[in-house]
Amino acid sequence: MPDTYGTYDPADRPGRKATAPEGPTLTAEDGTELPGFDPRHREAFSGLLYLGSLTEAFSWLGHEFVIRTLGVDEQLAVAQVTKQYEGTGGGEQLAYAAAIVAMAVVSVDGEELPTPIGEDGMLAEWAHKRFAYVKSNWYSYTISEVFQRYLLLEDKAAQVVTAMGKAFGPDASTPG
């Protein structure tokens, strides 16, 4: 499955995401080709909604995972759900990885993680429920693998945004 672009809305489903357009690609500093940009990225204001938003599918131990990058609200929700584990050493790191995974996973074998009903405006509750599901039902090996894949996807998003900035050139700056 190719990389796709999507919104940061946790209620978005994989079928609603638009695939990356065919055509020109960007090149990272190391020469790696990066996916081309969805035309939404070029619009002055609404393009900001999509910058850094990528999804990716991968197989691991016979299961098909779809993950996506997270928006700021979701990253802050991760901080909220992991707060009770701060200062616990390894527990803090495992909780962080599990919370990121809980928020980043779109589906496993075509099935979504449990999604609370009435999630509008209740991101923190939604995050707590997904985190509770992942930490109660997944082994640390699975959490670790999905977390590593998430980090790679975040790195790819950062490379794409950097390459996009170079492709569009520097904007005129204001003195001071």
pLDDT in tens, 107-160: 999 988 877 665 555 777 888 999 999 999 999 999 999 999 999 999 888 887
pLDDT average, residue stretch 165-175:
60
pLDDT for 8 beyond 50 = no
Most confident residue range from 4-8, 42-46, 144-148: 144-148
Band the pLDDT of 39: cuts 50, 70, 90. Answer: low
CA distance 156 to 30: 12
- pLDDT value of position 168: 59
- pLDDT value of position 63: 95
pLDDT over 70 for what percent of the chain?
61
Contacts of 71 (CB under 8 A, 6+ apart): 8, 53
Contacts of 24 (CB under 8 A, 6+ apart): 36
- pLDDT value of position 152: 94
Question: Average model confidence (pLDDT) for the chain?
Answer: 76
Q: What is the pLDDT of residues 53-73, one digit of tens each?
A: 788 999 999 999 999 999 888
- Each as own residue / partner, the long-range contacts of residues 83-91 (CB below 8 Å, 24 or more positions apart, any chain) are none
The amino acid at residue 66 is: V
Q: How far are the Cα atoms of 36, 97, 135, 151, 153 from residue 139, in angstroms, in the given order? A: 36, 12, 8, 19, 21
pLDDT for 6 beyond 90 = no
